[in-house]
Amino acid sequence: MGRMAAVLLGMAAALAAVLPAHGDIYREVAADGSITLTNVYRKERKSVRLRREPPAPPVMPVAAAKRQRGEAGALPYAALVAAAAVEHGLPEALLHAVIRAESNYDPRAVSPKGAAGLMQLMPDTARELGVADVWDPAANIRGGARYLKRLLEMFDQDLSLAVAAYNAGPGAVIGSGSAIPPFAETQRYVPKVLEHFRRLQSGG
């Protein structure tokens, strides 16, 4: 490599550090022989391109993106669920599966034990999670997602145990030897949630 070429490459590398990563770099030689590097092409100055902008990555077709998300985007409260899923690093389909099993999307649902709202938060749990208004769908979904995330971490990402703990409480799961408690309701609840979750994920 000649000395001038090495100098130009060094200058191009230095300029690349300060110019946008997605732009071309051009060399211009002035009448007095001075060299300028720029990201703007000017035909009258006989600009010579030193670095070409890489091609843009392919964009996933809209139909394929929708299929990848499954049915979750078309369900009730989809925007609120999507926001909570992103905030807590959970699949949207999992939150929808829990909401369906807990309240069937009724924001005013109340259980005989006092659990309330879309994700059926118990009063003490809601307070501990910082949910001031369990009847507010956004707050209820955020709180339920936060609780579900905590349960997944508690049970080493074991989805079955986390879902069982959401229904019966973490103490019941631990007291059962880190297994699904032998309660009839929980024994029905876990496969119901997991089946709906997997169906939503697959888009079926």
Q: How many distinct structural domains can be found in the chain?
A: 2
105 and 15 share one domain: no
Plot region of 105 (φ>0 → left; ψ -120 to 50 → alpha; else → beta): left
Residues 45 and 75 in one domain: no
Q: Given 28, 92, 102, 153, which residue is catalytic?
A: 102
> Within a domain: residue 164?
yes
Exposure class string for 150-177: b at 16+ Cβ within 10 A, else e:
ebbeebeeebebbbbbbbbbbebbeebe
Residue 59 domain-assigned (yes or no): no
Residues 104 and 197 in one domain: yes
Q: Does 62 map to a domain? A: no
* pLDDT tens column, 104-145: 999 999 999 999 999 999 999 999 999 999 999 999 999 999
**pLDDT over 70 (residue 89):** yes
Residue 66 lies in a domain: no
Residue 58 lies in a domain: no
pTM of the predicted model as reported, rounded to 2 decimal places: 0.66
Are 97 and 181 contained in the same domain?
yes
Domain of residue 139, residue span: 71-202
Q: To the nearest 10°, report the CA torsion of 163, 145, 110, 70.
A: -80
pLDDT tens string 158-187: 999 999 999 999 999 999 999 999 999 999
Task: Based on the residue annotation, tell me whether 102 is a catalytic residue of this protein.
Answer: yes
- In this structure, are 19 and 81 located in the same domain? no
CATH number, position 92: 1.10.530.10
Residue with the bigger pLDDT between 94 and 2: it is 94
